Amino acid sequence: MTSTTDKLADPVFAERYRAMSARDARFDGQFITGVHSTGIYCRPSCPAVTPKPGNVTFYLTAAAAHEAGLRACKRCLPDAVPGSPEWNVRDDLAARAMRLIADGEVEREGVPGLAKRLGYTPRHLGRVLTAELGAGPLALARAHRAQTARLLLAGTDLPITDVAFAAGFTSVRQFNETMAEVYHVTPGAIRASARRRPAAAHVEAGGAALTLRLPARAPFDGASLLGFLSARAVPGMETAGDGRTYSRALRLPHGPAVVRLALSGTPEAPAVECEAVLADVADLAPLVARVRRLLDLDADATAIDEALAADPALAPLVAARPGLRVPGAVDAEEIVFRALIGQQISVAAARTALSRLTEQLGDPIDLGGFTRLFPTAAAIAEHGREVLRGPAKRIDAIVGVAQALADGSLAIDVGESRDDLEKRLVALPGIGPWTAGYVALRVLGSPDILLTGDLALRQGAARLGLPAEPRALAAYGARWAPWRSYAGMHLWNAVAA
C-alpha cells in the first residue's frame, strides 16, 4: 500500500488533498474523493471530517469509485454538482467517449455502437477507458444512468417505474439493484429524503413535463449567454427572453422536445431552471447533457478568468463579465447550417434567412407552444435551392453539406476530435477555416479556438488597442491559450458593448 508520505509527494494528489481539506467548492465535479476507511466517496467540499491521506484515493469519475467498491455520500450528494470540465478541455479518446456516454450513446447503440462511432474495437476502448478513468464503458454508462435516476427521483414526481426506464435501465430489477449498490438506499428512500418542490413532473398533452435544476460552476455569466442565444432566436423554433430566459424546440433521439431555461440560484451557487416537455421521457439524459453543453455549465470559470485577466488588455472585460461562457449546441447539424448561412452577413440578416428556411422546411410540431423544428439535412438537400437566397456558390455549399450529412458521408457530433472535424469540413467546397472553427467551438465546446477571421472579433480587438490583422491577432492571442475561445467571446462582447 502506498504510504502517506509517498502520496503527498505526488503533486496532483497533494493539490487535490489541499482542495479537499479546504472544502473548496470550485473543485466539485472536477474530481471525487474516495474514503476507503468509511467506504464512501464525496465531493471535495463535503463538510465531513477531513480523512487522513492514507485513507484517500482521488477519482475522475463516479464509475471508478463504484468499481473500487465505494458508495455515494448521502450527506454531500457528489453527483449533484456541475460536471467535469475535463471532457471539453481534453480532446482524446477518453474525452470523446465521455461526451458520447453522457449523450446516451450506450443506451441507444450499446458498447459496440459506441466503439464503432469512435473508430475502435470495444476491447481497445475498454482498455483505454479503464486505464484513463478507472472504469470501462459499461461501468461509466451505468454510473450515468444512476445519476440521471437520482436526479429524477429527487426532482420529479414521476412514478418510480417510469424513472427506471427514463434513466436508461432495461428493467426495474436492474434499476433497484444498481441504486442500492451505488447509494445503499432504495429508490423510494432517495425520493422520500429529497428536498424538492411538489408536483415537479406531470404528463400533459404531447408529452411528459419536467422541471429540473441544473447546477452551474461559479462564476456564471448566464445573462450574456442567454442574450447571445436570444439575439439569434428563430421564430417558431425559439423564443427570445429578457436576458434571463430562453426557450426552444429541439429534436432528440426519440422525438421532439421543448425546453424553457431561466437563471436561478445565487452568485456563489448559480443554477439554471430547466422546464422541459418531452415526447418520450427516455430522452431526459441526452436533453440534460445537451442543455449543459449549450450553456457551458461545467466550464472551470475561475481558472479561465484568472488566466485571461493576466493580460492587462482583457482584465477590465473579465472584471466586468466574470464567468463568461462559450455557447454550445443542442443540435450539431443545425450549427453547421447556422454557420454557413451566417457567413459574411449580419446577425439580423442570418436570422431572417434561417426563419424562412425553418418555416418552409422545418418539421411541424405542436408542443409547448412551438410550431417548427429546425430542418433536417435531408430536407435542405432536397428543397434547399427552392428556399435559400444569395450567391449561387453559397447555396451550392449549403446544399452540398446537406447532401453529405444526409447520405452519411459527413458526420458531426460530440464524439469527434477537433482536428478531424475541421479537416473534414474544410475539405468540402465552400467551407473555410472560420466556418470549421465556429462549428468546432459550438459543437465540441473546444476551449482554445480564436476565430481571427471574424470581423466582429477583430473589431473588438481594435477597440482594445490589440492587433486587428488576423495573423498578428493570432500571434498575440497565443498568450490566451488554452482559453482562446473565451477570449474571443470577450472580444465579441467588446463590440456589442
Tell me the catalytic residues.
Answer: 42, 454
d(CA 396, CA 398): 6
Partnered with residue 278 across adjacent β-strands are 208, 257
User: Exposed, middle or buried, 262 (CB in 10 Å: 0-12/13-18/19+)?
Assistant: middle
C-alpha distances in angstroms, 421 versus 39, 206, 415, 437, 439?
42, 36, 10, 9, 9
For cell 440578416, the residue is: 349
d(CA 131, CA 134): 6
Partnered with residue 246 across adjacent β-strands are 240, 261
User: Exposed, middle or buried, 467 (CB in 10 Å: 0-12/13-18/19+)?
Assistant: middle
CB atoms under 10 Å from CB of 192, counted, come to: 10
